[in-house]
């Protein structure tokens, strides 16, 4: 899915919502635990209940890898289900990979060849050779961590050098030589507020993956005010606020309503582009 196709899907669905499938066995409804694959059952029902209102899904690999082979099976079944039933939805593997070149090449092979996923999150700390193997796949996307939503982002990302340049700004500027706005996005947390202005001064045209609305307290209105560009340029993620809106057997209906509410807010924001 290229940049123009992403934008066209946003306009068609009046949504730039990404739903994070951070599926935790300790949080899914108890009635599902008797199923052969509770995680996949939960994901399937969440997907069916919310697909009309979102642009993308983002499984977080930590919630699958922690369960070993069983978790990987749930992950692969989820990807296969999305590909078969909802082929126009963008799929992001939230894996935060990044290692020396030959290792990154194998990570890229895993996500882009074996599982045919659209995008993967990558940590840029090890530099160009750790990122470039992911950028060799036409039609696939690298999503670089730039300015994250967690409290610890202040430890490194918001430290400045002697010229006053923040580390996240250096990442944005340096990485422009590695890829383009046709194959590279950036993670910028919704909790960072007006820092989106600095981000957009450096990368006005790239898509941003924005976690942190909902349970983490980020403001959708603020993100759109400072971060939206002429083609929207945003994929805003919500995980817990949607998938755990209700932990009873009516969880899917609650997720449907939560996703519908966010989509309605996004539709209002998108009117700014008209």
- Cβ–Cβ under 8 Å, residues 134 and 128: no
- Cβ–Cβ under 8 Å, residues 16 and 232: yes
Catalytic, out of 96, 140, 162, 260: 96
Largest CA distance in the chain: 58
Instruction: Give the Cα separation of 103 and 95 in Å (integer).
Output: 14
Kindly report the number of other CB atoms within 10 A of residue 88's CB atom: 12
**92 Cβ neighbours under 8 A, 6+ residues apart:** 18, 56, 57, 58, 59, 117, 118, 119, 120, 121, 143, 209, 235
Catalytic annotation on 27?
no
Backbone angles phi, psi at 161, to 5 degrees: -85, -175
Report, as residue numbers or ranges, the catalytic residues: 96
């Amino acid at each position: 899915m290229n940049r123009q196709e992403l934008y066209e899907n946003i306009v068609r669905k009046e949504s730039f919502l990404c739903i994070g499938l951070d599926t935790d066995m300790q949080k899914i409804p108890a009635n599902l635990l008797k199923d052969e694959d509770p995680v996949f059952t939960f994901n399937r029902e969440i997907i069916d209940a919310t697909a009309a209102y979102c642009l993308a899904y983002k499984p977080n690999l930590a919630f699958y890898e922690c369960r070993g082979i069983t978790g990987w099976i749930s992950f692969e079944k989820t990807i296969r289900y999305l590909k078969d039933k909802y082929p126009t939805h963008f799929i992001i593997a939230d894996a935060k990979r990044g290692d020396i070149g030959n290792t990154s090449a194998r990570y890229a092979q895993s996500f882009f060849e074996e599982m045919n996923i659209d995008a993967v999150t990558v940590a840029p700390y090890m530099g160009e050779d750790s990122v470039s193997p992911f950028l060799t796949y036409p039609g696939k996307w690298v999503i670089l961590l730039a300015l994250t939503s967690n409290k610890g982002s202040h430890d490194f990302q918001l430290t400045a050098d002697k010229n006053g340049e923040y580390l996240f700004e250096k990442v944005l500027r340096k990485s422009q030589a590695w890829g383009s706005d046709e194959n590279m996005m950036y993670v910028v947390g919704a909790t960072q507020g007006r820092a989106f202005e600095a981000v957009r001064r450096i990368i006005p045209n790239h898509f941003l993956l924005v976690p942190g609305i909902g349970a983490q307290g980020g403001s959708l209105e603020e993100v759109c005010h400072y971060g939206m560009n002429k083609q929207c340029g945003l994929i805003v993620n919500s995980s817990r606020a949607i998938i755990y809106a209700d932990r009873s057997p009516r969880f899917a209906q609650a997720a449907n309503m939560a996703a519908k509410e966010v989509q309605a807010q996004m539709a209002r924001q998108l009117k700014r582009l008209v």
